[in-house]
Structure 1
Amino acid sequence: MAAIPTEKPHFGVLDDVKIVFAAMEEAIPRACNIMADWGADVTWLENTGYGDTVRDAKNAAQAERRNCRSVQLNQFTPGGKQVLLDMLKDTDIFFESSKGGTWDRKGFTDEDMWAVNPKLVIVHCSGFGKFGDPDRVKRPAYDGTVGPYAGFTCQNGTPEQPMITMPYSGDYINSYLLIGASLAALRKAERTGEGESIDWAMYEGIMYMSQYYLVDYLNDGINWGRAGARNQNLCGIGVYKCKDGFIALNLFGIRQNKWIIEELGLGDQWGTPDLPEDTASLWLSMPIAKEFEKRLEAWLLERTKLELEDILAEHAIAAQSVLEFEDMVKDPHMAARGNFVEWETKDGETFKGLSPMPRFEQTPGKIWRPMPAKGGDTVDVLTKLGYSKEKIDELVAEGAIAVGEN
């Protein structure tokens, strides 16, 4: 079996950006993996013991650690700290995730990093940030616990029970925000020559992106409550049962509302004080809301998913049958856009996953290497930093690094 490539080819909108991250599982690693798909040169620091726990989820790991190098490092040993500082000399963005303030407490400060690279963007990601209530700051946190704290979980589920949203939506919300914030800070560093340090609290990322109903509570004292598969305050929005499955509707717009009102036999209500002719949103508070939903449900149950998609599209109503995974892989639109691709793993097996997204038409992303072995790039990266074989062996003996084989 040929070794997987070590020299990143030139491609993508982030081709000249170098990233190092020390984090496990989802939020930061997914952000870095996306940027790797866009052409960034990304090195993944795994601990010298069990490595990144994402490896337990073998398919997710293969999908979300492609295009990355793996270096096993204990940066809190003297030798490991020096290795990381050497790596950061020409790095643009460094990400780490831990409980707030961990790196400062362990003697690895932003100032240490800026001493070797004044333009470095540093992102410290934790559940609750570096400061605030001391008890809160030091608590462990995952997607499934910061969402409930951020007021995200309480907005999802049924009136009887809130629910988490999967797969790991809190992590992935933060992933895209981390990309935006780190690249914004990099733009500032390039403009001014001065680095930036970002104190990233995951709960703030989730709260920031789920404030739609929160601000109703803050300003008007309104708590819309949980509505299960339907919208909290509007008719015709949500997932409904139809003749052969489920369909998602987003009913909005004056002409769309007029048509469906008439189609459901409620046309005499259109243009009344309760339902003026310029009604763009059908509120659950309107007098006919209960009857409207009852008739809508019955109308949908009489028709198949595909019939409904065609009928509703004809009247400019957004509607989509709920695709299962087996539907997605057969879908002609996804096939035409090349959403599903295959690549070879380091062990020579064929892996099926997603193409780099979004589609940069002039400077596309690409998959240039599969997920490496744990520590599979340690020797290569350190050798390119100027470390001799003898020095690498010393660092292994010290426990500062560990070495795998790709």
Structure 2
Amino acid sequence: METTKPSFGPLDDVKVVYSAVEIAAPTAAEIMAEWGADVTWIENTWTGDSMRDTTWTKEMERRNQRSISINTFSDEGKEILLRLVGDADIFIEASKGPTFARKGITDDMLWEANPKLVIVHVSGFGQWGDPERVNSAAYDLTVAAYAGIIAQNGTPEQPTNIAPYSGDYFNSLMIVSSALAALHKAKATGRGESIDLAMYETLLRVGTYYMMDYLNEGTLYPRPGARHQNLCAIGEYKCKDGYIGLCVYGVPQNKYLLETIGLGDLWGTEDYPEDTSALWLDGPKAQLIERKLEEYLATQNKADVQRDFTAHRIAAQAVNEFADILAEDHVDKRECFIEWENADGRKVRGLNTFPKFSRNPGAFWRPTPPLGYDTRDVLRRAGFDDEDIERFEASGNVRFGD
């Protein structure tokens, strides 16, 4: 397997080291790896990253990375970590609260090795605050529950999580953006940064749209189910052969909708003047509009509705299943999926690199490595000699997968 990263992408000159499992922090590192960053993935010496338990997801979420397996908090592990971050730009760790500091790896220690290092601490509830909360175990579902975003989804009878693992993936994007923002400043000033990224706070930011009404007026919207909290004709509706997502908004769009569902006589009245841009759920005929829309759609094929509504500038999209996505000509033309061989030589199909940089495109250069596959290579790249490597191997705190 190739060990020297080719030159590509907008982050070609960025080196990232991370110690984390599952999705939030590792996917952030993965995105940067797809954009050209040189990424080293630190795994424990027992079972490695729990992502390895997945059948195929690991092939997508750990490609373009090197795997080194160490007991990070042992003397040997600390020695290796400090050497690895010595010429790195970004170090990301995910754990419960201030675990790294509590186990002897402080920001100051890392900055002694590299004063310009950007350090990203990812945890469910932050590095400080209420001790019980800070030290609580956290997954994307539990931080979403804490941040109130689950309470905004589902039906009035049952709140629902934002799947699949959306809380993690939202945080991945926040990790990428905050790390690169800090790196921009570190390169300008020569001084590193430490980021305290509490996952629940990201989800507070994601869920703030309706929270603002509550904070300032005490307005609390009900869970909308498949529909919008306060507007007609926005949501997922059942057609004769499946479901369609509608977002009807705007003056000509509302006029066409009412005419199409047999309520054209409402347009231009006192209730719905000719400049009506939004069909509010508290409007005088809201229930009638919703009922007539449902009745109309139940008689139509989703593709016909999509075609007709789109032609009249209404945002309408049939709800695609996986097979529908793969059959889309547009998706094919934009090369959204690629194929590669994994470390065992099996063919893997997965997503291409997003977004599409025109001058410095991202790329795929190596599959997900086995646990500790790159330990020896990474140690040598970090300047350790054969005697050091023998010492590490004898300690039992470093695992070699080659």
Match of 1:241 in 2: 238
**Superimposed CA distance per residue, residues 48-92 of structure 1 (whole angstroms, 9 cap, x where no aligned partner):** 111000111121111100001000111211111010100111100
Which one-letter code corresponds to 2:246 in the other structure?
L
1:385 aligns with 2:382: yes
Match of 1:126 in 2: 123
For the residues of structure 1 that align with 2:77 and 2:233, how far apart are their CA atoms?
A: 58
Among residues 75, 79, 86, which one is paired with 2:76 in the alignment?
79
Shift of 1:305: 1.2
1:181 aligns with 2:178: yes
Among residues 266, 271, 280, which one is paired with 1:269 in the alignment?
266
| 3-state SS of paired residue (2:327) | coil
Shift of 1:138: 0.6
User: What does 1:138-217 correspond to in 2, within 5 Å?
Assistant: 138-217=135-214
For the residues of structure 2 that align with 1:113 and 1:273, how far apart are their CA atoms?
A: 67
Q: What is the RMSD of the two structures over their aligned residues, measured on CA atoms?
A: 0.9
For the residues of structure 2 that align with 1:326 and 1:226, how far apart are their CA atoms?
A: 30
Among residues 40, 54, 57, which one is paired with 2:54 in the alignment?
57
**TM-score, normalised via structure 1 length:** 0.98
How high is the sequence identity, in percent, across the aligned residues? Answer: 52
For the residues of structure 2 that align with 1:89 and 1:400, how far apart are their CA atoms?
A: 20
For the residues of structure 2 that align with 1:313 and 1:8, how far apart are their CA atoms?
A: 45
1:12 aligns with 2:9: yes
Shift of 1:142: 0.3
For the residues of structure 2 that align with 1:27 and 1:281, how far apart are their CA atoms?
A: 37
Match of 1:98 in 2: 95
1:302 aligns with 2:304: no
For the residues of structure 1 that align with 2:77 and 2:343, how far apart are their CA atoms?
A: 27
Shift of 1:262: 1.9
Shift of 1:132: 1.0
For the residues of structure 2 that align with 1:363 and 1:99, how far apart are their CA atoms?
A: 36
1:250 aligns with 2:258: no
User: What does 1:311-330 correspond to in 2, within 5 Å?
Assistant: 311-330=308-327
Match of 1:348 in 2: 345
1:35 aligns with 2:57: no
Which one-letter code corresponds to 2:245 in the other structure?
A
Among residues 282, 286, 290, which one is paired with 2:283 in the alignment?
286
Shift of 1:258: 1.0
Deviates more, 1:97-106 or 1:273-282: 273-282
How many matched pairs? 402
Among residues 364, 368, 375, which one is paired with 1:367 in the alignment?
364
| 3-state SS of paired residue (2:255) | helix
Which one-letter code corresponds to 1:399 in the other structure?
G
For the residues of structure 1 that align with 2:139 and 2:228, how far apart are their CA atoms?
A: 27
For the residues of structure 1 that align with 2:278 and 2:177, how far apart are their CA atoms?
A: 32
**Superimposed CA distance per residue, residues 327-376 of structure 1 (whole angstroms, 9 cap, x where no aligned partner):** 11111110011111100111111100010011111111110000000010
For the residues of structure 1 that align with 2:369 and 2:263, how far apart are their CA atoms?
A: 61
Which one-letter code corresponds to 1:382 in the other structure?
L
Shift of 1:275: 1.7
| 3-state SS of paired residue (2:56) | helix
1:67 aligns with 2:64: yes
